[in-house]
Amino acid sequence: MSPVVFLVTLLLSVPIAIVLGVTAIWYIWESGNTILFDSFAQKMFAGLENYGLLAIPLFMLTGELMNEGGMTRRLVALARVFVGGFRGGLAYINLLANMFMAAIIGSATAQIAVMSRAMVPAMKDEGYDEGFAAATTAAGGLLAPVIPPSMMFVIFGVLAQVPIGEMFIAGIIPGLLLAVSFALVITLIGWVQQFPKGEWLSRREAFSALISALPAMLVPVAIIGGILFGVATPTESAAIASLIAFLVGWLMYRDLDPRKLGEMFFRTAANASMILFMIAAASVFGWVIIYEELPQRLAGLITAITSDPFMFLLIVNLSLLLVGMVIDGIAAIILITPILLPIATGSYDISPYQFGVVICLNLVLGLLTPPVGIGLYIASSMSGAKPGAILKSLWPFLLAVAAVLGLLSYFPILSTFLI
């Protein structure tokens, strides 16, 4: 009966955290093991009792501070210095600026919202198709869950009990690979559609943009550098980055009004609490997974089909593409990691880092694919472009993601080389 309760509540669009909690309560009552009710609240709290989870609100706060502090605008200007002169320069600027923002925000939805406001109007003014401009921005948002710091990597690291810092490092090569594939897509489309020619900035303008953006670049340097060189944990790096973002936006750029801190703290707390509540609910849902032996049953089913790790990952990829279409990526990663990870590592000897990178990138595709496709609708509402027009221009980017997923599934060294 518990699977029925789970599916019915899910199809009724009940929030995933409530779905997990209600299913766990129903299972405990149905199984007669009611003594578990005595430790229900304690189990939920234990799911949050992890130092690494503190990085989630801190990275969210860093993104809020950067938006209010005018750093996004300066990073876009910096991207213009490096790629603005190519044909279709604004499309490359969009992509490069998304890479900069991915190294700061760590959330695809937040990044799509911010960059849609910043880039789509500018691209429309220079003659780009509105749907393509929004599609490029939305695709750039897919870099956020792969290029460190990634909120999904934080959650996966906690659930998989692997070091979050090493999980971040595992995402560097896949993130760069994804960015290169997007650049190739822009180049090919530019040849076909004859994008407008870009203009290189003068030396004085380029130097001015570079100097102006240097303080903003301290934020990704603090995050990635601190983790790479072992100076700070991801949580400590997030705290340092938020402090830098506040000081730079307030004292150097003078765009950040300290009186708005209360609003930013409230938005950060509200957004972070939804994710943390899902993790707490997933902790009690773990009882259902354990007592029903779901990983063992699924492992028996899949190993009967194939013993090849690559084929296993292909099956997982195809399954998760469907899951990601109807369930939010963060909710899906909380739900499926405890079930699939033991099979990947135990039955197929797949590195948890490779598995984490593959499923995080796969699940975030659901942001841009109907019927849910929240990233698609965010890009539409922020840019004014119709979802259909965006989707029409988005499919080459989605094919590029599929190709990268295939490479990451076949070559584990792409995820594990730097660790």
Q: Give just the sign of the alpha carbon dihedral 416, 161, 56, 367.
A: positive
Confidence (pLDDT) at 80 = 86
Q: What's the CA gap between 376 and 287, in Å, rounded?
A: 35
Residue 335 C-alpha from the chain's centroid: 16
Residue owning tokens 């490069």: 96
Confidence (pLDDT) at 372 = 63
Q: What's the CA gap between 260 and 61, in Å, rounded?
A: 12
Confidence (pLDDT) at 309 = 93
Q: What's the CA gap between 304 and 298, in Å, rounded?
A: 10
Confidence (pLDDT) at 1 = 65
Confidence (pLDDT) at 371 = 65
Q: Which amino acid is at 390?
A: I
CA end-to-end distance (rounded Å), the chain: 44
**Structural contact between residues 408 and 354, judged by C-beta atoms closer than 8 angstroms:** yes
Cis bond upstream, residue 145 (ω within 30): no
Per-residue pLDDT of the chain (419 residues; tens, 9 = 90+): 667 777 788 777 777 788 888 888 888 888 777 777 888 888 888 878 777 788 888 888 887 888 788 887 888 888 888 888 888 888 888 888 888 877 777 677 778 877 887 788 888 888 888 889 899 988 988 888 888 778 889 889 988 989 988 998 999 999 999 999 999 999 998 888 878 777 888 889 899 999 998 888 888 888 878 877 778 888 888 889 899 989 999 988 888 889 889 998 998 888 788 888 888 888 888 777 777 777 777 778 888 888 899 999 999 998 888 887 777 777 788 888 988 999 999 889 999 999 999 999 988 887 787 766 777 878 888 778 888 888 888 999 999 999 999 999 999 999 999 87
Q: What's the CA gap between 53 and 149, in Å, rounded?
A: 13
* Burial of 43: CB neighbours in 10 Å, binned 0-12, 13-18, 19+: middle
Q: Give just the sign of the alpha carbon dihedral 76, 405, 329, 353.
A: negative
Closest CA to 83 of 218, 201, 221: 201
**Structural contact between residues 158 and 50, judged by C-beta atoms closer than 8 angstroms:** yes
CB neighbour list of residue 346: distance below 8 Å, 6 or more residues apart: 299
Long-range CB contacts (< 8 A, 24+ apart) of 80-83? 80/201, 80/209, 81/201, 81/206, 81/209, 81/210, 83/198
**Structural contact between residues 127 and 88, judged by C-beta atoms closer than 8 angstroms:** no
- Count Cα atoms within 13 angstroms, Cβ side, for 146: 31
Confidence (pLDDT) at 357 = 95
Q: pTM of the full predicted structure?
A: 0.85
Domain ranges (residues) in the chain: 2-416
**Structural contact between residues 156 and 360, judged by C-beta atoms closer than 8 angstroms:** yes
